[in-house]
Structure 1
Amino acid sequence: MYLPALPRMGADLHASDTTVQLTLTAFVVGLAVGQIVAGPLSDALGRRRPLLVGLALYVAGSVVAAVSPGIDLLIAARALQALGAAAGLVISRAAVRDLYSGTAMTKFFSMLMLVNGLAPILAPVIGGQLLTFTSWRGVFVVLTGFGVLLLVSVALALPEPLPAERRRPARLGGVLRTYGRLLADRAFLGYALSASLLFAGLFAYISGSSFALQGAYGLSPQLYSLVFGLNGVGIVLAGQLNGRLVGRIPERTLLTAGLITAAIAGTLTLVAASLALPLPAVLIPLLFMVSSVGLVMPNASSLALAAHARSAGSASALLGVLQFAIGAIATPLVGLGGDGTAVPMAATMAGFGVLALLASTLARRVSPARREPRS
């Protein structure tokens, strides 16, 4: 929601574009750290309690962000927001694994892409419109209210999906052994890296598109938010298409198709930006690059979590940590080329798209590790 305000935020706080982009990096790092903690805790305590604590932290971070007098405190507030938001990311995936398996799990992950896709559709559009009558601080006030709404909703309406008899103690030694076993499962690691590297390409777009499209191509905050929303529609449509195809086409095939689309589209975006072609020549392959997330993420997540029902929280946490840790690398790469050019963003997206396709071979070429019993 605050992406359209990034340029204004830098001017208001007397910070460079690269420094302002650290508010995104801090959020990504906070998400990675928070998921490492929230995943095992949700395996031990159930899903509800860690989620409630996480939402309370998110609300607190949003309040601090809204009143931050300088960029340093704003970066810290974004990190606090992320520590809370991490619980939602981990627990949503783990709860799906608690309740579903096999094709049904993949279909549900595809359904979640509808929810996840609506966020990039609605949030920047709302943020762009909010900027017509308020500052970037008003955006964080709205996020505070949204966090309070989620906190109340979870407290009053969310049932506990993980029964007590299926919980595991969150002892440090056991947690470390679980993470070690997950990292030793080369199939899990291959699927997780495929998703994570593509997510890094997506994060390069998220962190760099406001500067690239508004700076290099002169889009207004409102028009930029509409372009950003259109790409969100692409994620939704690809996710719903995946939900219809899964069961008739193997998940691995759908995953590979999404990764090939991302690699080709990312490369075409880079070519168009490097040659300074007109805006449509950039936006069309950019749409396909972003939309490929709707094919890749449901299948990669389902295949990665399929064999780990008894440690779904930890597996979900590791999957998320890899996504956001690698995604954090994208932001400084996007800022290397300076202002007024889309080439660094496009190059970063293309590079991570190709790497994601290469990483998928790790999962395809190895025999799956020993599987946990299905729940």
Structure 2
Amino acid sequence: MTAVPRPWLLTLAALAALATLSTNILMPSLPLMAQTLGSGEAEMAAVLSLFLAVFAAAQLVVGPWSDRIGRKPVVLGGLAVFIVGSALGALAVDLPLLLTGRALQAMGAAAASVLARAAARDRFDGPQLAALLGRIMVVMAAAPGFSPLLGGLLQAAWGWRAPFVLLVLAGLALAAAYARIVGETLPAELRRQQPAVALARGYAVLLGDSRFMRPALATAAILGALFAFFGTAPLVLVRQYGFSALQVGLFFATSVFVVFAAGRAAPRWSARRGGPMVLRLGAGLAACGGLAMLAAGTLDLAGFAAASCVFLFGMGLVSPTGTALALTPFATQAGQASALLGFLQMAVAAALTTTAATLPAARMDALALVLAGGGLLAWLASPSGRSPSARPEKEKGAPQGPPFRD
């Protein structure tokens, strides 16, 4: 297996984590934003929901656009839009201006997230792609794990605008790193010139292809459950276990290590047993974690933490494995396939997060039902059979050259 240069890996991981960082780093500041801008907490919910909606829709555009003109101009253009949106957020004096900035952030983050996966697919497939995605996911896990803690510290030191300033600096640093380290990963001869009708037909083909849809739906279900976990678990920790904001941040920070272990195991197990088997194993563990959490409602904090770890480990197996299985057969339309995968993930995330917040049950019970349901849906969607450990047959026109830019 070709070794992945660490700067290349870290750059793609940072691109993929940008959307999660942009949302979770603001969580501790929402009440203070509402007070400063004269808005109610219900109105401030749009700061999150608008971002998710724009992010989901934008992915359907930036993916195929990059298949047409190349990855580099779309990534750098997206990061420029993200920087402008972050600056508007830092300067916002009312809610409409803040929401405008958040919408621009979402557009830019969509380009970064989609094309991090597409760039990985441009260079790898099969077990190599699963290994690379697993390593990217490990780095990505630090974003939801540490960003609320970071956001709270920044707000305490310099106010709620400080996280937006940090996002401006992050966008600038990522643009420089991508241009210098990764560059263009899609050669001109492999770009696809598609009119709108062909683009729609391409999405229809992907939606009708079980090689894409089954692992894509499994991944979307498990990541949707993960978003519900990050949205609801803080309420459980504060209300049921009396956690402070700092303790909540530390709880999520420790979750990184569980995901790290799963991300390291997933590619090795996939090479031995096949991706579909690992996908089903991870989905089953995630569902078991949710079921265990139902029991944890009458137990102590250790029971809740253990159930959370089981879910997170299962999620860590499903995410890179399902993404690799979904993208591997589609080398010549990796941008479009990655875009549709991202759209499905955000759509399911929005649905499951809303479900966890509105179920007529105690918050922990609602969360547990969503985690178990997401794991079960992922298990049902998982493809059967055993994927070959060898590299699959290349699609016509798939890149055959060296895996990294000189």
TM-score by length of 2: 0.83
Contact 1:208 1:345 in 2 (8 A): yes
Contact 1:307 1:374 in 2 (8 A): no
User: 2:334: which partner in 1?
Assistant: 312
Unaligned runs of at least 5 residues, structure 2:
1-24, 388-392, 399-406
Supply the distance in 2 between the matched residues of 1:358 and 1:169 (Cα, whole angstroms). 36
Contact 2:83 2:168 in 1 (8 A): yes
Letter in structure 1 aligned against 2:384:
R
The CA deviation at 1:272 is 2.2
Pick aligned residue for 1:192 from 174, 197, 216:
216
The higher-RCO structure (CA 8 Å, 6+ apart) is: 1
User: 1:342: which partner in 2?
Assistant: 364
Supply the distance in 2 between the matched residues of 1:287 and 1:94 (Cα, whole angstroms). 30
User: 1:324: which partner in 2?
Assistant: 346
Supply the distance in 2 between the matched residues of 1:24 and 1:349 (Cα, whole angstroms). 21
Supply the distance in 2 between the matched residues of 1:61 and 1:338 (Cα, whole angstroms). 37
Contact 2:267 2:321 in 1 (8 A): no
Contact 2:89 2:161 in 1 (8 A): yes
Contact 2:225 2:353 in 1 (8 A): no
The CA deviation at 1:11 is 5.2
Q: Give the 3-state SS of the residue equivalent to 1:136 in structure 2.
A: coil
Asked if 1:364 corresponds to 2:384, the answer is yes
The farther-off stretch of 285-294 and 211-220 is 211-220
The farther-off stretch of 344-353 and 156-165 is 344-353
Supply the distance in 2 between the matched residues of 1:57 and 1:110 (Cα, whole angstroms). 28
Supply the distance in 2 between the matched residues of 1:302 and 1:41 (Cα, whole angstroms). 21
The farther-off stretch of 105-114 and 83-92 is 105-114
User: 1:26: which partner in 2?
Assistant: 50
The structure-2 alpha-carbon separation of the partners of 1:162 and 1:212, relative to structure 1 and needing over 3 Å to count, comes to same
User: After the TM superposition, which parts of structure 1 deviate over 6 Å for at least 4 consecutive aligned residues?
Assistant: none
Aligned-CA RMSD value: 2.6
Deviations 1:203-250 (A, max 9, x none): 111222333323443222211111111112211221012133331221
Supply the distance in 2 between the matched residues of 1:18 and 1:371 (Cα, whole angstroms). 50
Asked if 1:351 corresponds to 2:376, the answer is no
Supply the distance in 2 between the matched residues of 1:214 and 1:72 (Cα, whole angstroms). 31
Percent identical pairs in the alignment equals 34
Asked if 1:245 corresponds to 2:245, the answer is no
Contact 2:285 2:313 in 1 (8 A): no
Q: Give the 3-state SS of the residue equivalent to 1:169 in structure 2.
A: coil
The structure-2 alpha-carbon separation of the partners of 1:96 and 1:155, relative to structure 1 and needing over 3 Å to count, comes to closer
Pick aligned residue for 2:283 from 259, 276, 289:
259
Q: How many pairs were matched up?
A: 369
Supply the distance in 1 between the matched residues of 2:33 and 2:309 (Cα, whole angstroms). 27
Supply the distance in 2 between the matched residues of 1:196 and 1:282 (Cα, whole angstroms). 24
Supply the distance in 1 between the matched residues of 2:157 and 2:195 (Cα, whole angstroms). 50
Asked if 1:74 corresponds to 2:101, the answer is no
Contact 1:269 1:346 in 2 (8 A): yes
Supply the distance in 2 between the matched residues of 1:50 and 1:117 (Cα, whole angstroms). 25
User: 1:298: which partner in 2?
Assistant: 320
Letter in structure 2 aligned against 1:288:
V
Q: Following superposition of structure 1 onto structure 2, how do residues 1-375 of structure 1 map, counting pairs within 5 Å?
A: 1-10=25-34, 12-13=36-37, 19-273=43-297, 275=298, 277-336=299-358, 341-360=363-382, 363-364=383-384, 372-373=395-396, 375=398
The farther-off stretch of 278-287 and 220-229 is 278-287
The structure-2 alpha-carbon separation of the partners of 1:305 and 1:147, relative to structure 1 and needing over 3 Å to count, comes to same
Supply the distance in 1 between the matched residues of 2:97 and 2:311 (Cα, whole angstroms). 34
TM-score by length of 1: 0.90
